[in-house]
Chains A and B, each alone.
Chain A
Amino acid sequence: MDRIPILRMGEFLLVTIQVDMHDQLALTLQDDLTAQITRTGARGVLIDISSLDVVDSFIGRMLGSIASMARLMNAETVVVGMQPSVAITLVELGLTLHGIRTALDVEKGMALLRASAAGRRRA
């Protein structure tokens, strides 16, 4: 069965979505990610969607669910690399991904996760 690989980078998990996902693949990713967060004790999840040329309400909803579940397990989620045309379409569709943090690219997303993890450790 198809699976989207999840990479571990220190205390963060990195997912790069490169295929046009069918719904089952999206649901599997959701399961795999939550399992990995528990197993590794990851503090953050970075989802790179720069290769996705379509994000519909289903995938948008999945991103939202991942972020909410991760937060419950004390991990921060950042979605990076959304294409302008995808962003414009999502806004028109009425999906603003409330509460999901975003960054322009993987590097900026990582910096964001690091800052946020450091902040939580201090607190």
Chain B
Amino acid sequence: MPVLKEETVAIGSDADVVLVRQLVRRRAQELRFSLVDQTKLVTAASELARNALEHGRGGEMLLQVLQDPPRSGLRLVFADQGPGIANVELAMKDGYTTGGGLGLGLGGAKRLVNEFAVESTPGKGTRITVTKWH
């Protein structure tokens, strides 16, 4: 699938989470996503960036603009070198949390996008890929 554009944002502090939100919003607007779709993707990005920050000790987001005529899409890859997720299935469940939150992060983010994939190796890190199509 042709990738039109690629950019990377480092996630090292909570100000970077704001930068992630702003970049994703800008690209989603450029692709003329509907307002609801923009909001869903930006919210998912915010959840995953914070996840990388809190559980992965920081990391980065790779943003790709995809072209698959007649569709266009945005793919976000969040990668960290944190402790990883021991039980991915469990972590996807609503209410599961290690960070003291509501535990809606991963499962919630999944419901906001079209495609969602988690690869995690305990001790090595986590890689979460989400895609939203327009």
Answer whether A and B touch in the complex at a CB cut-off of 8 Å: yes
Instruction: Say what secondary structure dominates the interface of chain A.
Output: helix
Quick check: which of B15-23, B61-69, B125-133 contacts chain A, the rest being far away? B15-23
Q: Please, which residue of chain B has its CB at the minimum distance from the CB of A59?
A: B46
* Chain B residues touching A, majority SS: helix
- Listed stretches A42-50, A66-74, A89-97, A106-114; interface member: A89-97
Q: Which residues of B contact A84 (CB under 8 A)?
A: 36
Q: Which of B106-134 contact A (CB under 8 A)?
A: 107-109, 111-112
How many residues of chain B are within 8 Å of chain A by beta carbon?
Answer: 27
Per the CB 8 Å criterion, the residue count for chain A at the interface is 23
Q: In the docked arrangement, what's the CA distance between A89 and B109, Å?
A: 10
Q: Is B72 an interface residue (CB 8 A)?
A: no
Out of B21, B36, B108, name the residue touching A54 (CB < 8 Å).
Answer: B21
**Which A-chain residue is minimally distant from B16 (CB atoms)?**
A22
Interface centre among A24, A56, A95, by most chain B C-beta atoms within 10 angstroms, is: A56
Residues of B bordering A, CB below 8 Å: 14-15, 17-18, 21-22, 25, 35-36, 38-40, 42-43, 46-47, 50, 94, 101-102, 104-105, 107-109, 111-112
